[in-house]
Amino acid sequence: MPSYQAPLRDFRFVMDEILDYPRHYAQLPQADEVTPDVVSAILEEGARFTREVLLPLNRTGDEQGCRLEGGEVLTPSGFKEAYAQYVEGGWPSLSGDTAYHGQGLPTSLGMMLSEMVCSTNLAWGMYPGLSQGAADALRHHGSDEQKAQYLTKLNDGTWTGSMCLTEPQCGTDLGLIKTRARPDEAGGYLITGTKIFISAGEHDLAENIVHLVLAKLPDAPEGTKGISLFVVPKYLPDAEGEAGERNAVSCGALEHKMGIHGNATCVMNFDGARGYLVGEPHKGLACMFTMMNVARIGVGIQGLGLMEVSFQNALAYARDRLQMRALSGAREADKPADPIISHPDVRRMLLTQKAFAEGGRMLVLYAAQLADSVECATDAAEREAAETELGLLTPIVKAFLTEVGFEATNEGVQVFGGHGYIREWGMEQYVRDARITRLYEGTTGIQALDLLGRKVLMSQGEALKPFTKQIHKFCKAHEANDAMAEFVMPLAKLNVEWGDLTMAVGMKAMQDREEVGAASVDYLMYSGYVTLAFFWARAAQAAHQALASNPDDAAFYRAKLETARFYYQRLLPRTRAHAEMIRAGSETLMAMQAEDFGLGFAI
């Protein structure tokens, strides 16, 4: 069975030596509660809970999957007990609103815990994960009555949430939704329709499930402008606010799928289920975006968590497994062969995993600070700036970290050779689990359109500027430092090219809109590589600084420096290919008619 140690040393490095979390937390309204000691205690306890409680259930959850019996979904053995411990430990309320039984701690702390949960048991983690987004959507858009009814229960974990968007004919294009909501005499609505692929739509972990459902009112305009959001509980709250009468919502079937077997992916039938409008009529998509944005960052963290655990296990195996001698002569002459970590290609794979996981952690913890500011900044300008930057980085966190997450978990299998492909070692599960992260919460293609089309080009490039300015400032500050030249020079060049490529696509798009779609995924990947290069340069600079003071754990900092070098020399050159492909434009993609692609061949 795979093992896992939460990367607490690396958390500390990123928090203390790169992103200055102590100062960040000291500026928040919760400053008194997030002292360094409290943060350490939470992270250590989170590490213990995830390793001792969740990790042992990961394999059994994968093997048993969920079962649908008499309309009830039974989760794999141990999941329910683990959830009870999670609730008892107060984890669901960590960053919840204090007015509704939340602990009010910063969002960023929840994100750190989330990485550990995703490393140890992604399928289990999706049950409480969706509650967080549901609570956020209700907190921002719900009426006072809805907040009182649902937030306390979601925050204390007695109820969980689900997000019901997808229908058979409608995935990416929510304008095609058929689920209907018609007003009933009691002042609510009756919801009728079928939703598919609903994660945690039904399960046995909690007393009640709060579904947030997109549906159309009778007078709804066509397309995405006519979508409204409803809260539809599995059990209607009674006069005391407890789970009361059963609502007409049920799970019709469970999907059989490639990975995350322990999480119930449900077909949900709403048969005139009682629902309540959240926010204004026809404005539901904007409300749902509150939930989706939280969930998108959450999915990026899933990619991160999986690469970290895959790396840890691949590393342990590579140190242990003996095969062949090193090309330059025996490394461990007393043994029949050298450990495979002696071979350059195995090192390439391990370093790829390490560079993406540790680079991803810096990016996520940076985004987490922005999320704290969006949530708590008292200064309106500061909050708006944080919101814009987080908006820019969200598709990168979601899509880049899941694309490289899938690559990194795949490399984890490769390090194990044939032993990675068989089930015994658990490495293939990470690849299967990671595969979904590139799809749900908006595919990579859709995230890429969001980044290039909606965020960057629609703002005439303005949304990109604050981030590229930061990179420019960093490069300027370190340009005279010879030790940093290997990072600063390429980074400064790429930063300029990022702007040039944006401009080039923007110009072409004025003639032909297809240019945006043709460039978008390469643009997203390019942006992801440059973003991580910025954080690796910062890590290198922090490592240089620490090494100059002769720290006790010099090996940690030397490894940081070498990983930064690996990233710059062996991963960052991928930007060349992406830049070429961005420049190649849409012509070859759009030249053929759909019927000429080949399916029409006579046999």
Q: Report the interface residues with ligand FAD, using CB under 6 A.
A: 163-166, 171-172, 197-199, 257, 265, 436, 439-443, 445-446, 449, 517
Q: Which is nearer to ligand FAD, 137 or 351 (CB)?
A: 137
In terms of CB distance, is 80 or 432 closer to ligand FAD? 432
The yes-or-no answer on residue 441 being catalytic is yes
69-73 CB contacts, 8 Å cutoff, 24+ apart: 71/250, 71/251, 72/202, 72/204, 73/202, 73/203, 73/204, 73/251, 73/254, 73/264, 73/266
Q: Is the dihedral of CA 335, 339, 342, 345 positive or negative?
A: positive
**Of 55, 132, 45, which Cα lies nearest the Cα of 308?**
55
Cα–Cα distance, 252 to 239 (Å, whole number) = 29
On the 0-12 / 13-18 / 19+ scale of CB atoms within 10 A, 458 is exposed
Residue with tokens 């007003």, as numbered in its chain: 183
CA 322 – CA 335 distance, rounded (Å): 8
Closest contact distance (angstroms) between CB of 97 and ligand FAD is 23
- Three-class SS of residue 110? helix
The residue with tokens 């461990």 is 332
**DSSP reduced 3-state for 240:** coil
Cα angle for residues 163, 136, 152 (degrees, 5° grid): 100
CA 67, CA 447: separation in Å to the nearest integer? 33
Q: CB-based contacts of 380: which residues, under 8 Å, 6+ apart?
A: none
* Residue 331, CA distances (Å) to 315, 318, 334, 343, 558 in order: 17, 14, 9, 10, 21
Question: Between residues 267 and 449, which has the closer beta carbon with respect to ligand FAD?
Answer: 449
Q: Would you say 354 or 398 has its CB closer to ligand FAD?
A: 398
Of residues 105 and 448, the one with the C-beta less far from ligand FAD: 448
- What is the smallest separation between the CB atom of 173 and ligand FAD, expressed in angstroms? 6
Q: Which of 202, 308, 389, 441 is catalytic?
A: 441
Kindly state the smallest distance separating residue 41's Cβ from ligand FAD, in Å. 33
Least distance CB 163 / ligand FAD (angstroms): 5
**136: Cβ contacts below 8 Å, ≥ 6 apart:** 290, 291, 294
CB-based contacts of 183, cutoff 8 Å, min separation 6: 189, 190, 217, 218
Q: Residue 365's closest CA among 120, 108, 25?
A: 108
Q: Which residues of 483-504 are buried (b: 16+ CB within 10 A; e: fewer)?
A: ebebbbebbbebbebbeebbeb
The CA–CA distances, whole Å, from 320 to 313, 338, 342, 416 equal 11, 9, 11, 11
**Residue 311 C-beta: closest distance to ligand FAD, Å:** 24
Query: Is 171 or 226 the residue whose CB approaches ligand FAD more closely?
Result: 171
Nearer to ligand FAD, 177 or 533 (CB): 177
User: Least distance from C-beta 24 to ligand FAD, angstroms?
Assistant: 32
C-alpha span between 428 and 153 (Å, rounded): 37
What 3-state DSSP class applies to 180?
Answer: strand
Residue type, 423: R
How many CB atoms neighbour CB 175 within 10 A?
Answer: 15
C-beta of residue 262 within 8 angstroms of C-beta of residue 121:
yes
For the CB of residue 208, give the shortest distance to ligand FAD in the complex, in Å.
17
Give the nearest residue (CB) to ligand FAD.
Answer: 171
For residue 166, the minimal CB distance to ligand FAD (Å) is 4
Q: Which is nearer to ligand FAD, 21 or 400 (CB)?
A: 400
For residues 117 and 306, what is the distance between their CA atoms, to the nearest angstrom? 10
Alpha-carbon distance of 447 to 437, in angstroms, equals: 12
Taking the least distance from each CB to ligand FAD, the nearer of 15 and 449 is 449
In the complex, least distance from residue 285 CB atom to ligand FAD, rounded to whole angstroms: 12
Residue 473 and residue 456: Cα distance in Å, rounded? 20
The least CB distance from residue 260 to ligand FAD, in Å, is 6
* Residue keyed to tokens 């709060």: 210
Residue among 250, 276, 283, 270 nearest 186 (CA): 276
Q: Which is nearer to ligand FAD, 1 or 253 (CB)?
A: 253
Nearer to ligand FAD, 114 or 152 (CB): 114
Q: How far is the CB of 167 from ligand FAD (least distance, A)?
A: 8
Residues annotated as catalytic (active site), given as ranges? 441
